[in-house]
Amino acid sequence: MSDISRYLRQQKERFGETLYLEEQILREAELAAAGLAEEGGTVTEAWNTARTLAQLDELICNCTKCALGETRNRFVFGVGNPNADVVLVGEAPGAEEDKTGEPFVGRAGKLLDKILEAVDFKREDVFICNILKCRPPNNRDPLPAEVEQCEPYLHKQLALLQPKVMLALGRIAAQTLLRSKDSLTRLRAETHTYQGIPLIVTYHPAALLRNPNWKRPTWEDVQKFRALYDERMAAAAKGAQA
């Protein structure tokens, strides 16, 4: 407890509640300085109290919980519709994303846009993000410790969005989200659940640029994804009418 806080408590004991407001303001200031906040009587990290994606971005964009915070150029929060029913998740930003601060840009991003349009989605209608918000050096795979620090931010994004469906882009993203070592082929074969949300797995757009033969199975995946989305939306509409 700081000297000022101790003093205010002593004054409160002597003179009653007249200084209560000042003490509360001081407590909130001390918590904020430590990156914390109090909600419902529980002290938590401040970003956990965010009510919108914009607030969350503001609260975590300077994160240095892992070493990637020291090597990044830009923090890549994610882009898209803040009310999206569809969320796409990759593993981590690449070099172009690290420069622009936006996920899935460049050739891979343009291909992703075409994939979405093929099943009647637009980039501005969905939300696109990564598990890690900072680029690993030389585009290496995310380390377990980095995932442990950053994945809670994804959980908070999903809690705010409450999407109907998710699409994991690439083997690393799928294995990391599902805590699985299964092959991409096996993971693509099933509908999974992540944080209570149905999840489909497909190839990363960058992989399709290297191997066009994977475009056909990707088309099959996103068709299945679209059908799952339509099914979930129809069920939600039916529930609202009941």
Mean pLDDT, residues 167-196: 97
What is the tens place of the pLDDT at every residue in 96-108? 999 999 999 999 9
| pTM score, whole prediction | 0.84
Q: What is the pLDDT of residue 30?
A: 58
CATH, domain range 50-241: 3.40.470.10
Work out the pLDDT band at 239, boundaries 50, 70, 90.
confident
Query: In terms of DSSP bridges, do strands 86-90 and 127-130 run parallel, antiparallel, or are they unpaired?
Result: parallel
Given a cut of 70, whether residue 4 has pLDDT beyond it is: no
Given a cut of 90, whether residue 10 has pLDDT beyond it is: no
Mean pLDDT, residues 172-188: 97
Given a cut of 90, whether residue 20 has pLDDT beyond it is: no
What is the tens place of the pLDDT at every residue in 124-165? 999 999 999 999 999 999 999 999 999 999 999 999 999 999
Share of the chain above pLDDT 70, in %: 81
Q: What is the pLDDT of residue 241?
A: 80
Q: What is the pLDDT of residue 7?
A: 59
What is the tens place of the pLDDT at every residue in 37-60? 555 556 568 899 999 999 999 999
Residue spans per domain, the chain:
3-47, 50-241
Q: What is the pLDDT of residue 31?
A: 47
Work out the pLDDT band at 33, boundaries 50, 70, 90.
low
Q: Of 18-27, 114-123, 219-228, which range is least confident?
A: 18-27
Work out the pLDDT band at 240, boundaries 50, 70, 90.
confident
What is the tens place of the pLDDT at every residue in 185-212? 999 999 999 999 999 999 999 999 999 9
Work out the pLDDT band at 87, boundaries 50, 70, 90.
very high
Average pLDDT, the chain: 89
Q: What is the pLDDT of residue 60?
A: 97
